[in-house]
Every structure is written in C-alpha cells, then in structure tokens.
Structure 1
Amino acid sequence: MAATVKEASSTHLEDSSHEQSEALTSNSSDAADYSVGVKTVLAITALALANCNATLSNTTNTIIRYQVMAVGGASVASWIANGNFLLTLACAPIFGSLADRFGKKWFIVGGCAVGMAGSFVSSSATSPYTLIGGNILVGVGNAGCIVSIAANQEIMPNRLRPYAFGFAQTLNSIAAILGTFLAAVFAQNSMWQWSYRFNGICFAVAGLAVLLAYQPPPTAIRRSTALHEIIRGIDYIGILLLAGSLACLVIALTWGGSTYTWHSSMIIGLLVGGCVGLVAFGLYEWKAKSPLLDHRLFANNNFPILCFVCLVDGMMLLGINVLYSQEIPDLFQADAVRIAVILSPYLVTSTVGCLPAGWIMGKTKSYRVLLIAALLWCALFTGLMALVTSERLKWALAFSALFGIGTAVTTVIPIPSFLFGTAGTLSITARALGGLTGITIFTAIYENKYAAHLPKYVGYVLAQAGESQITPGVMKALSSHAPPAIALGAVPGLPSDLIGPILGAVKAANAASWKWVWVAIACIILANAITCCFLKSVKPAMTSHVESALEKSTTRDSQMMPKVKSMA
C-alpha cells in the first residue's frame, strides 16, 4: 500500500530486465470483479490459527519460575524465553523474503511442524538445557508461522485487508488470554508441562488447517521469474549480516546485567558488533542489486515509520506483558491464577478492540489519525499507571483496561507493501526486537530505582522503631531468594511485630520503582505518536487488487499461469 508495484516498476528484482518489471507491474491492476468467498474465509481462519501459535508459545514464559523450580537452572533461565526470541528474530526476515519468492504455504506448515516438535521436547524436559533446546525449535517454528500474517494480507483485496487483519489479531489476542490462564492453572497444579503440550497440539491443528485450506497460486515473483534466477538472486550476504547482527544484540540484551555486567568487554563487544553489523547491513542493502530489503519498500516514508511503530509497539506490548505480570505479585498477589485475573482487563480490552479498529480502518481507508489517537490514549493511561500502589488495585484494573483499548489499534496496522512476506516479517522482527530492548531498558530502570528506594523505605521503618542496628541483617534477608516473610522471620533480633511494616515498606519501594517504568513507557509511546504524524495517506492504494487469489476467477486463472518462457 505504501508503494504500489506500478510506482516501483523502475526498481528491478534480479537482473533489471524490462520483462520482469512489466510482469510485476501488471499485478497491480484492480480485480474489480473478484469477490471473497468461502475458500478465502477458511484460509484466513487457518492462517490466523497459525499466527496464534507464536503468541501461545510465549505464554509459557509467564511460568518460567515454576519450570526452574522443577528442573533447576536458575542461572540460565533467561534463555528459556530468549532462545525462542533469538531464533524468531534471526529467521523471520529470512523466511519472509524467501516466502515472497518461493511461496508461503510450506514455510507456515513447516513452521507448525517444527514448533510442534519443540513444544513436546520442552514438555518432556528434566533439565533446563532441554527446555532451552525445545524453545529454540519453537523459535524457528514461530518464524515460519508468522509468515501467515503476510499470507493473510495477500489473499484479500487491498481495501479489505484491515478487516482480515482485525479478525486475525482478535483470534491472536484470544489465544494470549487463553494461553495465559491455562499456563497459570497448569503451573499452580504442578503440571507446567501441559502448557507446552497444549501448544504442541495447537501447532499440529494449525498446520493441518493451513495444509487443507490454503491453496494459493504461485507468488508474483515465481510467476514472472525462472527458478534458477530466483535462487541466484537471493541476498545471501544480507541474510548473514542481518541474522548475525540480530544474534549479537539479542545475546547482549540477554546476558547484560545478569551473566555479565553491562560494562564487561563481552557485552560491549556484542553490542558494538551488533550495531556495526546492522550499519554494514544497511549500507550493503543500499547498494545491492537484489537486496533483502527491497528498495521499493522505501518509496515513501510509510514503511520505515511503521517499522518504528512496530519497534515501540513491541516495547509496549511485550514490556507490559512481561513486566506488568512481575509488578502484580510485587504489589498485589503472587498466586499464578490471581495474576492472570488482574492481567485480564488489559488482555480483554486489547482483544475486543481489534475488530472495531480493523472496521474503522477499512471504512475510512486510513489509519494515520486513528493510530495517532490510539498512541496518545496509550501514553495517557500508561502514564497514569505510575500512580498505582498496593492500595490501588482498582486503579490498576481501570488504567490497564483503558490502555488495552489503544494497543488494539497498534496491533492491527496492515503493513503497506506488495512484498507481504518481507514487509510482514520485518515488522514482526521489529516488534520482537523492541520487546527485548524494552524489557532490558525497563528492567534496568526498575532495578536501579529499587536498589535506591528499598534501603530508604525499610531503613525508615526500622529507625522509627529504634531498631536501626539490624538494618544490614534485614536487607540481607530481603535480598535472598526465600519468600520475604520467611526470610525476615529468620533475622536475629527482629521483633515479629515489625515484619508486617517491613513488608509494607517493600511494597512501597516496589511501587515507587515501577512508577518510573510506566513514565518511561508513556514517554516512548508519546514519541511514537509524534513520529506517526509523518505518515502519508494510503487511501489511493485501498483498491480491489488481490495479490494472491484463492477464489475461482479470471484473476486466479491469470495468476496460475507462469509468465516466463522457461522455468528451471
């Protein structure tokens, strides 16, 4: 949508031949007589189920502490989640680019198969390394599954894409709610393995559904280019540069502050290597003849701006999902199911809002104004979350429900491009990288503030009681891995009637620390809203053109016929 194929016909795919450019340009003509039918609806539903797998697989990260309690490995626990993220980040852009060339179906079905295998490997784990290995397989599977987002968009006429995306994201949000509650119930009943087994079953069902319901014609590139030319034109150098750079950044963000200090040579080297690699990738892509980042994606500012939107959206969505679920036990309840209940207002409103957001975008053929309004709305209510304390649970429920409405809009923005696989997976990569970056930044903010606030709040309670001399012992107990109430009960000389006030001071220190996390989130979202003011209108591109026709029609007939004289 940001750049039609016709506008970009001056940029060539492989060998700059005029014939290939014309073949791609011809696909931009409207299919005014094309209508969406049962085949498309079934395919959209199957593809939406495949997309849900990536969300479901991440809900197991909410119960990592239960997994570690069962199999050990607290020192490597972060890799249970980040092994998944790393492979998804590294593989998604590669799969997306290749899917644009060879077709999306088998990347999705193969992703479901690999994800199913990884889920059952993790479910059988008796060591943390088996969990990590299983999650690495799931990460590869997720990278294949998220190609379904691109497939979802290209089987719909441009003007109907927001409706399809709103429907898909609604199912995705429902999966997030279902997965979160099921994971909590399984963990609470010492059956955390069933969270992985459930995900494995869902991978299998989605893969079978896509196999049966999604029967697309050859891709536009495959229809107009011989196979040996496609293989020769793959950007192998760009793939290695991007995958290596993202791997360096993810490893640095995972190890920094835990395995290694942030100023260690290992972390600095990884961060510098990742950043230099991304710069080198950008420079190489700028000059490459057949780049992974097709130059037509940057015909105007919309695609890079939306990638930035996705980056910040990832910081917001994944940051909130992970960190808010940590704030809840700090301030309110540590029970797994109760945590899920407190999270549910945010999850429910972000789910319910997807369909109306898609409907509004489809009707208005625009998303700039709605997106800016949603981001300003999110900035307001995430900022108000800074006022939440342990006595203000109702405030937390209300504010989280309200900013959930805004996040529904940010998750249903269709990526404006004819290269749906490349554009879609790059947007997902931006979201995932934003999530990892956000979690790292927000965790650092919280830990720095907590380290300053806890001694002050606890010291005040002990000073008021005339017990300042036992402050070191109390602080040592609170820094242990034991539950605070139990750890405090073992502190020599601590009166039992002070345990309650000290626990209250711990909650107050937590509230004061989480406050700055929410302030940071609100500021980043506000900056995102300002950036979106520079988006250009997409109304001219909201046509009846369908990139990959599933219904019986002259459009599908023309897309089923190769336009090259010889196919390797």
Structure 2
Amino acid sequence: MIQYNASFFSLTLCAPIATYINADLGPKPYYVWIQIVWPLAFAATITIDGRLGDLFGRRWLMIGGNILCVVASIIGGTAQSIGVVILATGLNGTAAAIQQTSSAAVGEIVPRKYRPQAASAVAGSGIIGGAFGTPIAIHVATKLSWRWGFWITLLTAGISVVGLICLYFPPTFEEVHSKDRRTKWQEFKDFDFIGVTLFIGGITVLLLGISWGGVTYPWKSAGVIVPLIIGALALVAFGFWEVFGNLNESLVPYKLFQNVRGFTMVLVAEFVGGMLLYAMISIYPVQIATVYESNPAVAAWEDCTLLMGTFVGVLLMGSILGRIGHARLIFVGSVGLNTIFIGCMAAMTPSTLGAALALTTLTGLTIGFLQLVGIVMIMLNCPDEDIGVAVGLNGSARSIGGSIATAMYSTILTNKVQEVLPGKIAAAVLPLGLPKSSLGPLIVALLSGSTAAIERVPGVTLPVIGAAAQAVKESYAQGFRLVYLVAIPFGVVATVCAACARDIDHLLTNDVAAKLHSPELQPRHRNTVNNSNADVEAPSQVVEKA
C-alpha cells in the first residue's frame, strides 16, 4: 500500500510543478515532457510488468520496481538540467507501472470473495498521493524546493523496499511452475520478446503522436500523422502476432479476449471510462484556473474534489460489493451516473463554483465505483495464472483511452476558445472606451497572464481589465461546455459495454489463487485452461482451495 502512494507521488509531486522546475533549471521549451513522459512510460510497461509477475513471480519484480523508483528519485532530486528531470520522471513512470500491479499481487493471495476489499484497500491507500499530491507539490515548491517532490517519493519507495523484503513472500518461481516443472531458462527462451517490442513500440509511438498533436506540430502535419499511423499499425501487428504466432508463452494470452462478456466488454468499458477519468484529471484543473480561481495554491485544493471523490468511491464500493453483490448492475449504474454528472458539468458558468465542486465530487465518486467494480470483474473473470497481465491490460487501456481523450478535448477547448474569445472581449471592453487598436494587444496580454503586459496596453483601465477578465472566463466556460457535451457519447458507449458484461456474484468464493510461499510448494496451477472455449468462465480448477 505504501508503494501505491509512491507511484502517485512520483507523478503528482512532479508534473504539476513543471513550471517551477523549468524556472529553476531552464527555461527550456521541452520542459513539458516532465508531464508527458510519466504516463507514456506507465502505459507502455504496466501490461508487461503484470505478465512478468505471472511468469516469474512477483516478489523481486515488486522489490526491483521500488528500487528503480528510489534510483529515479535520487536522479531527479539532484538533477541540474531539465533533460535529467525528464529522464527521472520517465523512470518513475516505469517504476509506477510495477508498483500499481499490487492489485494483482494482493488479489491472488486472498479468497476470491474478499478480492473487492483487497483491491479497495490497495487502490484506496493511494488517496494521499493521488488526491492531495498537487497541493502538497505546490506547497513544498513554494515553501521549500521543487526537489522535495522527489525526496518524498524517495522516502515512500524506500520504506516500500524494506517492507517488501521483510514481509512480502508470494509464491516463488518454483511454486508457480510446480505443475509444468519449467525452468527459468525455459521461461526466458519462450518469453514473447517480439510481442514486447511491438507492444511497447506501438504504444510509445502512438502516444507520442497524440501528445505532439496541436502542441508541437499541427494535427494535419506529418509529425503527428506518421507516428499515429505507425503506432496503430504496430499494435495491429501485435494483435496478429499474439493470435497467430504459435507462442509457448504469449505476452497477452488470446484466451482472455475469448471471454467476451467476462473480460473483453469490461476492458472496453474501462478503456472508455479512462477517456472520461484521465481527461477530467487533465481538463478540470484548467477549468478551475481559467474559469474560477487565479491563485494556484487555492486552485490546487479545489482540484482535489475529483480525485478525492474517486478514492472515497473506491473505498466505499470495496467495503460493500462483496456483501450486496449485483456487480454488473452496479457497474452499469456507475458508468451511467458518471456520464450524467459529466454532462451536467456543461451547465457550469463562472458563477457556479460550488456546483462545480459538488458535481466533480460526485463524478469522482462514480469513477471510483466503476474502477473498483471493473478491476474486480477483470480479476475474477480471468484465469488465475493470468491475473497480472489482466490487471496490466486494464491499466494500459485506461491510460491510452485517457491520453486519446485528453488530446481530443484539449483541441476542442482550444479551438472553441479561439473562436469565441475575441468577440466576447470586444463586446465587453469597447463600450468602456478601449481603442480598437488596443484590442489585439489586450487579448495577447490576457492570454499571457502577465499583469505588467496588460497594464502596458494603451487605453486600458481597471474597469476594462475587469470586464476583459470576465470575458475570458466566459469564453473558457463556453469551451468547457462543448468538451463535456462531446464526452457524453463516450459515456453512453461505456454504459452499453458495461451492460453486456457478465456478473461475478457466483465467482465470489473461498477459492485462493496463490498461497503465500511455503516449503510444501502449493502453487497456483498453470496451463490448465481450455483455450478453445470462446466465452469461458474463470475456472475453479485453476485455483487452490483456501
């Protein structure tokens, strides 16, 4: 659980203060990669980390991931250039991918009926780093130094290393493979290196194209279109390789997707859910800053409502799901309510801060519900020997969906604001006596956020500044209205997918997937699933009885 906080700290204590880092070590135009590289590394590696844990055991993978986080935090905390900070953040994203497979690590060692509580305890434990990381980051950056973001991450990861070494003893490699008697060398030879290359390469290039679009290059330029096409083709090739490659140990077992209602529909719903969650995480802070609050410290606390609601939702749903059952209905209801609340955000104006805070809290609550139910459904509907890769796929799907949606929503917002802003400012300030020749410089100064630049505009007065600032808020509010309306169809698609999923009430049993390490070698079983069944239940024969 401590490592789960470390995984969030490595993002939330660094990315929100990228401008502070750039001011100290730069300025460099590429400092934005401090914010981009973490989710890119995370999405590209979490599925692979889950599979490595399935095949080789999780103990040293977990320990190694936290050691990597320690090393990356030392590199970042002592960095003297923006490039080194970007390197450290990328390494932390890779480490976080390992740290966040802890849902699988805990889920496999408890009875199935307690997996909701176990997943909730793990995910909910990240509330400090996940929900409150941004205000903590801004506070330490202004009061101490931005380097403390890395030092806090270092401390939590270091504690995790010690705790894992002393207390975490999952099944060893020999216990995992006691039935098939495979050696480490055999597993290494059969490991799907081609699949890994296609998967990492495809996701990395695809997300690079998405992150460049509208920022580094225009969306219609070759600098965006080429990586998007190459990344998509690599992922298509990866899918064909996994299905037709005749692999002894595929990176992503095809049998998972043969379970259409139990796994595939849930994964698609989680992918679209990621388009709602991660886009909200990126878009909502911009809304707070441009429509409601100009003080960064206050805005950081107002940003917390979404993620605080998410973690509370995870903890609440985990505590009751195993008792009340009806997971599919809860899943459908959560996605549906989430869509409704996001749609209601379209009605927000610069004068409705309280309503926006309430709606984002409710949105976060339903996101927590659907995330908890989704991950439990995935863990229970997959064979136990594939629980790690299943959890990893869920993480990758949400991250990719979020990246796609963030790029799309940011483009929609930018285009809409550029369309309405000049007219709104002109209508607000020209009747107050501002010369028409000063309108262009005033707009540029307002968008720069520089008070000095605004005051230098010829003919500007305090009433003009106040009216122009209000016009900017209204322009952004109109842009966000369109963003939230565009998000509604994705929520509808996610709701339909959730409705097509299979329930899991009958799978909440006393069976345990993997007992803790013992000399008797009592492992989870491998290679006992019939791959020919196109829509299989998670079979009870692949688990040990508690």
Q: 1:229 aligns with which of 178, 186, 196?
A: 186
- What is the aligned partner in structure 1 of residue 465 from structure 2? 499
Q: Which amino acid aligns with 2:11?
A: N
Alignment of 1:264-283 (within 5 A): 264-283=221-240
Give the deviation of 1:542 after TM superposition.
2.2
Distance 1:62 1:315 in 2: 20
Letter in 2 for 1:439: T
Q: In 2 relative to 1, CA 344–482 (structure 1 residues): closer, same or farther, beyond 3 Å?
A: closer
From 336, 360, 375, the equivalent of 2:335 is 375
Structure 1 regions of 5+ residues with no counterpart?
1-47, 564-568
For 2:491, which of 522, 525, 536 is the aligned residue?
525
Residue type matched to 1:548 in 2? A
- Once the two structures are superposed, the pairs formed by residues 151-550 of structure 1 within 5 Å of their partners are 151-189=105-143, 191-218=145-172, 221-225=176-180, 226-227=182-183, 228-290=185-247, 291-301=250-260, 302-412=262-372, 413=374, 414=376, 415-416=378-379, 417=382, 418=384, 419-465=386-432, 467-479=435-447, 481-483=448-450, 485-550=451-516
Report the CA distance shift for 1:482/1:72 in structure 2 as closer, same or farther (over 3 A).
farther
Partner of 1:116: 70
Residues 178/508 of structure 1: CA separation in 2 closer, same or farther (3 Å cut): closer
Q: 1:150 to 1:300 in 2, by over 3 A?
A: same
CA separation in 2, counterparts of 1:478 and 1:348? 32
| Aligned match of 1:8 | none
Mapped partners of 2:121, 2:99: distance in 1: 17
The aligned counterpart of 1:52 is 5
Shift of 1:175: 2.7
Partners of 1:120 and 1:196 within 8 A in 2: yes
Q: Is the 8 A contact 1:376 1:529 kept in 2?
A: yes
Separation in structure 2 between the aligned mates of residue 88 and residue 497 of structure 1, nearest angstrom: 48
1:102 corresponds to which residue?
56
Spell out, residue by residue over 1:216-270, the C-alpha distance to the aligned partner (whole angstroms, 9 max, x if none).
1235652233113322321111111111101111111222212222111121110
Q: CA deviation at 1:381?
A: 1.3
Letter in 1 for 2:108: E
CA displacement at 1:434 relative to structure 2? 1.8
Identity %: 25
Greater displacement, 454-463 / 440-449 = 454-463
Tell me, in whole angstroms, the C-alpha distance in 2 between the residues paired with 1:496 and 1:355: 49
Per the alignment, residue 538 of structure 2 pairs with none
Amino acid aligned to 1:224: K
Q: Name the SS of the counterpart of 2:516 in structure 1.
A: coil
Q: Residue type matched to 1:394 in 2?
A: G
Deviation at 1:312, TM superposition (A): 2.3
One-letter identity of the residue aligned with 2:111: P
Cα offset, 1:137, TM superposition: 1.4
Partner residue, 1:559 = 523
Q: 1:178 to 1:211 in 2, by over 3 A?
A: farther
CA contact (8 A) 2:176 2:526 kept: no
Measure how far apart 1:155 and its partner are: 0.9
Partner residue, 1:127: 81
Q: Give 4+ residue runs of structure 1 displaced > 4 Å after superposition.
A: 560-563
Distance apart, 1:365 and its partner CA? 4.1
Residue deviations 1:326-372, cap 9 Å, x none?
A: 21111222323211321233333322222221133212444211111
8 Å CA contact 1:50–1:210 kept in 2: the answer is: no
Mapped partners of 1:189, 1:335: distance in 2: 15
The CA deviation at 1:561 is 11
1:12-56 CA-to-partner distances (Å, cap 9, x unmatched) read xxxxxxxxxxxxxxxxxxxxxxxxxxxxxxxxxxxx222232222
- CA displacement at 1:544 relative to structure 2: 1.7
Deviation of 1:505 after TM superposition, in Å, equals 0.7
Counterpart AA for 2:259: N
Most deviating of 102-111 and 542-551: 542-551
The answer on whether the counterparts of 2:132 and 2:304 sit within 8 Å (CA) in structure 1 is: no
Separation in structure 2 between the aligned mates of residue 233 and residue 441 of structure 1, nearest angstrom: 39
Contact 1:108-1:146 at 8 Å conserved across structures: no
- Cα RMSD of the aligned pairs, angstroms, is 2.2
| Rounded Cα–Cα distance in structure 2 between residues aligned with 1:58 and 1:366 | 35
Q: What letter is aligned with 1:368? A: R
Distance 1:153 1:122 in 2: 32
Distance 1:319 1:507 in 2: 20
- Asked if the contact 1:188/1:337 (under 8 Å) is kept, the reply is no
Conservation of the 8 A alpha-carbon contact between 1:248 and 1:273:
yes
The 10-residue stretch of structure 1 (462-471 or 363-372) with the greater mean CA deviation from structure 2 = 462-471
For normalisation by structure 2, the TM-score amounts to: 0.89
Structure-2 residue corresponding to 1:34: none
Distance in 2 between the 1:293 and 1:504 partners?
A: 52
Aligned pairs, number: 512
Amino acid at match of 2:191: I
Maintained 8 Å contact 2:266/2:497: no
- Structure-2 change in CA distance of 1:292 and 1:456 (3 Å): same
CA deviation string 1:515-558 (max 9, x = no partner): 11222233322221111110012233222221111287x9x753
Q: Spell out the pairing of 1:60-75 with structure 2 (5 A cutoff).
A: 60-75=14-29
Displacement of 1:293 after TM fit?
1.4
Q: Is the 8 A contact 1:159 1:365 kept in 2?
A: no
In structure 2, the CA distance between the partners of 1:551 and 1:283, relative to structure 1 (3 Å rule), is closer
Of residues 350-359 and 373-382 in structure 1, the stretch that sits farther from structure 2 once superposed is: 350-359
Q: Residue by residue, what CA displacement relative to the aligned partner does 1:409-453 show, whole Å, maximum 9, x if unpaired? A: 122132232211111111111122122212111111110111111
C-alpha distance in 2 between matches for 1:463 and 1:560: 74
Distance 1:524-1:551 versus aligned 2 partners, 3 A rule: same
Conserved? CA contact 2:103–2:118, under 8 Å: no
State the AA in 1 paired with 2:101. Answer: V
Shift of 1:96: 1.6
> Is contact 1:313–1:431 with CA below 8 Å preserved after alignment?
yes
Report which stretch shifted further, 444-453 or 82-91.
82-91
Cα pair 1:378 1:522 within 8 Å, conserved: no
Paired amino acid for 2:3: A
Q: Secondary structure at the match of 2:500?
A: coil
- SS at 1:107 equivalent: helix
- Alpha-carbon distance, 1:184 to partner: 2.1
